Amino acid sequence: MFEYKIEQINTEKTKAARVEAQLNALGKDDWELVAVTPDFDGEHILKAFLKRRAA
């Protein structure tokens, strides 16, 4: 069984290194990136879908 999480990422206001650090920190907490999709504006707001095994 998995648990799921959505992280919203604003690439207009956040530098790539900061986004990378955010996703790496989630990876260290056993979250696995499943997909990244554009949100309402289709350009700068992204949704990262993550999953990890439930305890």
> pLDDT of 1-51, one tens digit each?
999 999 998 888 888 899 899 999 999 999 999 999 987 766 788 899 999
More confident call, 40 vs 54 = 54
Q: Kindly report the pTM of this predicted structure.
A: 0.77
Q: Residue 3 has what pLDDT?
A: 96
Taking the CA atoms of 14, 16, 17 and 18 in sequence, report the sign of the dihedral they define: positive
Rg (CA), the chain: 12
Asked if 8 and 22 touch (Cβ cutoff 8 Å), the reply is no
Q: Residue 49 has what pLDDT?
A: 95
